Structure 1
Amino acid sequence: MKTRARFLNISATIILALAALTFSVLMVRGDEVIPLPDVTEADSRLGTAYTFYTSSGQPLPPYAYRAGSRWDRFDFSWNKIEDVQGIFNFPPYDLIVDLDRANGIDVIGILGSSAKWATVNCSVVNAEQDQGNLNAAPTGPLAVHDNVGWRACPPVNLDLPWDHKDNYWGNFVYTTVSHFKDKVHVWEIWNEPDWDAFWTGTPAQYAQLLKVAYQAVKAADHDAVVLMGGLAYWFEPNFYSEVFDQLMVMDPFGIDTYYFDTLSLHLYSDVYNISLVTQGIKNKMASSVGLHPIWLTEVGVPLWDERPNYPNTRYDNAATIHEAASFVIQSYAESRAVGIDKYIFFRMHDEAMGEAFGLMRNDRSLRPAYVAYQVTARYLQGENQISGPFTNDGVRRITYWGTPRGRIDVIWNIAGGDPVDYAHPAVLPSATLVDVRGVTQTLTAVNGVYTLSLEAATANTGVAGKYIIGGSPLLLIQTDTVLPQSALHPLPATTYGSVVTLTWDISDAHSGAWFFEVDRANSLTGPWINILSWNETKNGITQTATLAPDAGVWYFRSRARDNVGNWEEWPAGPEVTTTVNLSRTLALSVTTFMDANSNNFKDPGEVPPTQITTMALMSAAGETIAQTTGNQWFYQGTVPEGDYILQIKSVGLLPDTVHLSIRAGADIWAVASERGLKPVTDQVYTPLLLRQ
């Protein structure tokens, strides 16, 4: 949060009017931006911060909804709501929540800013609000006894049980969540606790604050989502790691998911830092508190060419309004590629800001970023996989597979200087190209490629002139919405041995078949386990061998994927089945004689031993399968495939060992062996290896 938002007055009359509102003219200035048609197909990943404001008499949530935003994130400030201990001022917030919900927008509530009465000697870090604005705020007056925009000190009594009457923070959280539990189901615990503008406590104190809040939220609304407070990251890059360490002590077995459901993160200006920072956090999670979803609850870039009071003055990590439009598409693609679940743009407008960030200006005229947001919401959704980012020869690419429009590649030039021509492989003869303004054109592939001209990057306001945003991005859409088809060939009723050979047909008349997946189960209803995928079935492969882990009935099902990422639907049940038999019938016939001259042959006059002779068939692990006493033995039985040992012992003679390697099969494996037992004085002995 770059600066605290000032809430504007909202009346019940406006909310009632919004219920009937179907269209409102979006203001544009003479030089620019015409919005695209309303985005109705957006998923729930995109949102905007502080959307509920009114500008020039018009509430802004309808504008946000048309852009594709489905979330509004704003403060439920403790020092405003409970300015006086035990008196909760909810009605103004009810108006805001109802306003958003009436326009199809859900709420992410930020719980934070200590009540003055719940702190001791708390020096105010954030600037005080202009008292003249207090009466215009929806909590009006915001706080009679505390005119601070955000009180950053830890509250007292955090170490008491969350539901103790003197744990004031626990009581505030429980009361607030209980009040809104039918309308608000996502709660962010504090804002930027790793920046002393919003939190003056230690990581350990924040971990305790988070624990108390988690317990209180879940007690009030068990299904609510609890966000670990949005990390500003760059002020204290190790803060979150120290919090994780504390949470592991508090919840050593993760019974309470370490007191948060999702981590929220704030990243600004440099699109390439999104992947770097997020992956580092994920790595730390994996080695400590376990992987949790990550939401980007603030993301944006300040606009140097429209900065209040200092227009057209470049400064570090800022962009122009046109570069900011590129930022929207690139930062969203980067976020989704690294696995971020929600993307909340900061912000919808510039009201009460010292810098300009908004998708629209305060006079409701649109910036180019508004249309870029519409492009993002309309096209970059509904995918079944995202791959990338890939960077080659100065070109960045992130691919959305299997969207409702097919395959979409987000492509841009990362370097400054001159535009570059980029050749992109074609899987279809024609494609649609969409630019940052939402303008579309049809491309025809030449010699199997599309050639794109990519504008150079210009936003070199990073450290040492680094380009923090690429050139204007292009969306290359190769549309194929027809699903591929595949079929496994029938298997034999019985398969002897663990090797099951699968063969199949796969076809796609449009973008072409890419690869094939096969699942295996040992019951009709699963669970299904994937055994073959891209690596085993790419490049037109239609046959492979797989191993059954055990004997019994095995079921198989398959689906195909085409070159734009469309998946064939899984069949309703198994496609083919086979019974795997891992055994074989062994017919073993053994006779013995005394090999007096130890030449491994039965010479005239060599007779069976007169001593007691024992013979045993054993597994390779030494388990006895069958045994007998005598000079000859006929054994027949069904045994699992594997390696076996026939051991023959006779008093006064050297023992004899025969190794048998039995493979599963339908027929009887007959083994006949005449074994010469040598005198003990003969030390030369070579066992005979018999194999099928």
Structure 2
Amino acid sequence: MFLLVGVWVWPETAVPAATAQSARDPRFGAVESFWAPGEAAELGVGWERILFYWNEIQPTGPNDWNTLHVHEEWLAEARAQGRQVTGLLKNTPVWATDGEPASGVPRGLYLPIDDPGNLWANYTRRVASYYSGHGVHNWIIWNEPDIAPDVYGHEFSGSMADYYQLVKVAYMSIKQVDPNAKIHLGGMTYWHDPSWLSRFLQMVAADPDAAANNYYFDIISLHIYFRPETIPQIVGNAFAAQQQAGIPLKPVWINETNARPSTDPEWPVQVQAFELDLEQQAWYITQAVALGFYSGAGRISVYKLIDINIAPGDESWGLVRPYDFSKRPAFFAYQNTIKYLAGFTYPVQREQAGNYTIVRFDRPQGTTRVLWARTGLSVTLNVPALADAAVLVDPITGAETPITPTGGNYEVRLNGARCAGECYMGGAPVFLVEGGTDGGGGTAAPPVVAAANTPTPGATSAGGEDTETPDAETGAAQTAAGTPIPTEPSGPTETPYPTATNMVPVPKPSNTPTVTSTSTAVPPTDLPPTPDPEIAVEAPTATEAVDLAAGDEGAIVEGETAVAEVPNSNLGVWLLGGAGMAALLIAFAWFRRR
């Protein structure tokens, strides 16, 4: 029998704890929450995005005004539940373009905004005037403009200059009727054209009238999927592109993020890439939110709450399943992520080594740290305690397990990721929640982190040592030795500049000695049961050694470095000794017989 003191072991089954829901935080969102308002309220989201299709609101001409496309009841219910609505304006009617239906450039786009022939100006002015009375003051101008017109899935068939004119006209016409409105650039995919935003902002900065008009936009929008570890780089790139163009920094929102499951037994899907199960979707949500806010995102929204009007076999992204409205594990993971992070202040801090990530959120009521393994190997960490006791929380079940420190550290075991060739996201995350810590002193607005190395499509960073930390003075990425890491531009104007402010201090040398850990592969958990015949846990070919020297810390304050635990080797010693004794007895018997 072994007595474990201050050691937490993941439970096989657990019952969600009945704890009070945190206050609603407007930074956490879910796309199209109006389709399931009860579930949205239960989830606790503070904002949603709704599509405003021009070709539905004015289907046959400029005198049409179809308010049944976006029901006023949806907007009233959102206000009653404390959700801010952000509208997405897109889809040109056939009568309003000489180009492709839905994606065509609106006719008269380059006319003055008060000219009746500028159809886009007339529409955006009217839609903003009408819906501002229903609480809508945030408008996204089109969707994914970085997808080229000759590429499948494009939504705008005009040029980059045409898109800039689209944004300018919308900005000026909407501000005429709603001066407090916020204009968002269309959500960008990044991967279709990594240098698109940089080139676009250079075009904006070159406009002699832009500076006097706030550069014709207020917020940058991003769509990021499947690989949470790309989030800091993509968000950082958005800040860096603004600096490079000489544009005062504007907020960056992640309007869409998710990792849709393909092996949901109640909604199976055949996919060509990203074979993921229900738990992996849940793990992604928590990891993406943690890394998104660490990166300086002002708001994050999951795509989406529920899928509507899809056929069996279609990809389903929702936290809630279509038709029966049953909740996926990702619903509960997001609900508990909101619960234990709501009200956090910036800066958000991160510590990352080769096989684990810790993201720290300070809140008025204490501190929440989000921990997960980065590879297919499990790892046990000694995490410095900030209080006399804490609870470990399973994001999916909400089960809270009390834990006390031993020698000033909590011992936490993290299960490895499920990797089939690539670890798209880390393993099952846990929350380490402490009350009574000094969670004050932060701000509600995010500081800014510049991009480090621009990610490459298809690349994975899981499993590699992350010794980059943002410099406190410049924001430039640093190696463990403090040498700036040269960036690799993805286009002629893509090189990110350092920021003037930063989210975290430079890590200082830790007093913790260097420790090497040996980790072992872990099978998928049994909670909740998810048949997954196609995804196997990556089996290690050798033991994983992790050197946690002081320079390998992520961006954390002094003295908070987690240490991978050295496993107990007494059993191995006894087995080796027994084998040696047996060999001696056999040799002795053989010599006696001869």
TM-score computed with the length of structure 1 as normaliser: 0.58
Name 1:430's counterpart in structure 2. 389
Q: Identify the match of residue 118 of structure 1 among 84, 93, 96.
A: 96
Alignment of 1:255-274 (within 5 A): 255-274=212-231
CA, structure 1 residues 67+483, in 2 after alignment: closer, same or farther (shift >3 Å)? closer
Aligned residue for 2:138?
186
Q: Report Cα offsets for 1:531-550 as digits up to 9, x if no partner.
A: xx999x999xxxxxxxxxxx
Higher helix fraction (1 or 2): 2
Contact 1:231-1:265 at 8 Å conserved across structures: yes
SS at match of 1:304: coil
Residue equivalent to 1:404:
364
The aligned residue for residue 480 of structure 1 is: 436
Query: Shift in Å at residue 295 of structure 1?
Result: 0.6
The alignment yields a C-alpha RMSD, in angstroms, of: 2.9
Task: Find out whether 1:205 has 2:162 as its counterpart.
Answer: yes
Aligned equivalent of 2:64:
87
Name the SS of the counterpart of 1:287 in structure 2: helix
- Written as runs of structure 1 = structure 2, the 5 A alignment for 1:228-307 is 228-251=185-208, 254-288=211-245, 289-306=247-264
**Contact 2:15 2:399 (C-alpha < 8 Å) held by counterparts:** no
Deviation at 1:459, TM superposition (A): 4.7
Contact (CA 8 Å) 2:367, 2:439: kept in 1 or not? Answer: no
The 1:170–1:478 alpha-carbon spacing in structure 2 relative to 1, beyond 3 Å, is same
User: Cα–Cα, structure 1 residues 99 and 387, in superposed 2: closer, same or farther, change >3 Å?
Assistant: closer
Q: 1:231 touches 1:264 (CA, 8 Å); kept in 2?
A: yes
Residue in 2 aligned with 1:47? 29
2:346 equivalent among 385, 391, 394: 385
**Structure exhibiting the larger radius of gyration computed from Cα positions:** 1
Q: How does 1:25-104 map to 2 (within 5 A)?
A: 39-53=21-35, 60-85=36-61, 86-93=63-70, 94-104=72-82
Partner Cα separation in structure 2 for residue 113 and residue 414 of structure 1: 41
Tell me which moved more, 292-301 or 253-262: 253-262
Write the distance in 2 (CA, Å) between the matches of 1:235 and 1:534: 34
Show the counterpart of 1:420. 379
CA change 1:102–1:40 in 2 (3 A) is same
Structure 2 matches for 1:679-690, cutoff 5 A? Answer: none
Classify the secondary structure of the residue corresponding to 2:350.
strand
8 Å contact from structure 2 (residues 509, 558) kept in 1: no
Is the Cα–Cα contact under 8 Å of residues 30 and 303 in structure 2 kept in the other structure? yes
Tell me the alpha carbon deviations over residues 426-448 of structure 1, each in whole angstroms, 9 at most, x when there is no partner.
23232111112211111111111
SS state at 1:340 partner: coil
- Shift of the alpha carbon at 1:364? 1.3
SS of corresponding position for 2:139: strand
Q: How far apart, CA to CA, are the structure 1 residues paired with 2:244 and 2:221?
A: 18
From 351, 355, 371, give the equivalent of 1:394: 355
Q: Which is strand-richer, 1 or 2?
A: 1
- Identify if the C-alpha distance between structure 1 residues 254 and 180 changes in structure 2 by more than 3 Å, giving closer, same or farther: same
Runs of 4+ displaced beyond 6 Å: 31-38, 482-485, 561-564
1:446-504 deviation line (CA, Å, top 9, x unaligned): 111111110100154xxxx221111011111222157899xxxxxxxxxxxxxxxxxxx
Conserved? CA contact 2:387–2:437, under 8 Å: no
Residue 236 of structure 1 and its aligned partner are, at CA, apart by 2.0
Secondary structure of the equivalent of 1:230? coil
Cα distance per residue 1:110-146 (max 9 Å; x no partner): 0111111111142x5xxxxxxxxxxxxxxxxxxxxxx
Distance of 1:226 and 1:209 partners within structure 2:
12
Q: Are the aligned partners of 2:370 and 2:429 in contact in 1 as well (CA < 8 Å)?
A: yes
Distance 2:440 2:349 in 1: 24
Counterparts of 2:52 and 2:170, CA distance in 1: 14
Matched residue, 2:515: none
Q: SS state of the match for residue 74, structure 1?
A: strand
Structure 1 residue 451 and structure 2 residue 411: aligned?
Answer: yes
For residues 255 and 307 of structure 1, the distance between their equivalents in structure 2, rounded to whole angstroms, comes to 55
Contact 1:420/1:454, CA 8 A, preserved across alignment: yes
Structure 1 247/36 Cα, relative in aligned 2: closer, same or farther at 3 Å? farther
* Pair 1:298–1:482, CA change in 2 (3 A): closer
The C-alpha deviation readout for 1:366-419, integer Å capped at 9, x for no partner, is 111111111111111222333443212411111112x133122111000013x2
In the TM superposition, 1:151-190 aligns within 5 A as 151-182=102-133, 183-190=135-142
Please list, as runs of the form range in 1=range in 2, the aligned pairs for 1:215-614 lying within 5 A after superposition. 215-251=172-208, 254-288=211-245, 289-306=247-264, 310-311=268-269, 313=270, 315-353=272-310, 354-362=314-322, 363-401=324-362, 403-417=363-377, 419-437=378-396, 438-460=398-420, 465-480=421-436
Question: May I ask how many residue pairs the two structures share in their alignment?
Answer: 425
- The letter for the 2-side match of 1:469 is M
The aligned amino acid for 2:387 is L
Structure 2 Cα separation of the partners of residues 315 and 32 of structure 1: 35
Quote the sequence identity (%).
28
Change (3 A) 1:424 1:210: same
Query: Using the alignment, how far apart are the partners of 1:99 and 1:293 within structure 2?
Result: 27
Residues in 2 aligned to 1:158 and 1:452: alpha-carbon distance in whole angstroms: 59
DSSP 3-state at the match of 2:321? coil
CA distance in 1: counterparts of 2:90 and 2:422, whole angstroms: 35
Q: Is the 8 A contact 2:287 2:429 kept in 1?
A: yes
User: Amino acid of the residue matched to residue 432 of structure 1?
Assistant: V
Given residue 83 of structure 1, which amino acid in structure 2 is its aligned partner?
P
CA contact (8 A) 1:434 1:476 kept: yes
1:142-175 CA distance string (max 9 Å, x none) = xxxxxxxxx1111121111122110000100000
**SS at structure 2 position matched to 1:296:** strand
Quick one: which amino acid aligns to residue 120 of structure 1? Answer: D
Deviation by residue 1:502-532 (Cα, 9 ceiling, x = unmatched)? xxxxxxxxxxxxxxxxxxxxxxxxxxxxxxx
Distance 1:299 1:221, change over 3 A: same
For the residues of structure 1 that align with 2:75 and 2:369, how far apart are their CA atoms? 37
C-alpha contact (below 8 Å) 1:33/1:371 kept by paired residues: no
Amino acid at match of 1:468: Y
TM-aligned CA deviation for residue 95 of structure 1: 3.1
2: CA distance between counterparts of 1:472 and 1:39?
Answer: 22
Q: What is the identity, as a one-letter code, of the residue corresponding to 2:358?
A: R
Q: Distance in 2 between matches of 1:117 and 1:483?
A: 56
Greater Cα offset, 281-290 or 333-342: 281-290
**1:251/1:303 Cα in 2 relative to 1: closer, same or farther (>3 Å)?**
farther
Counterpart of 1:130 in structure 2 is: none
CA distance in 2, matches of 1:378, 1:249: 44
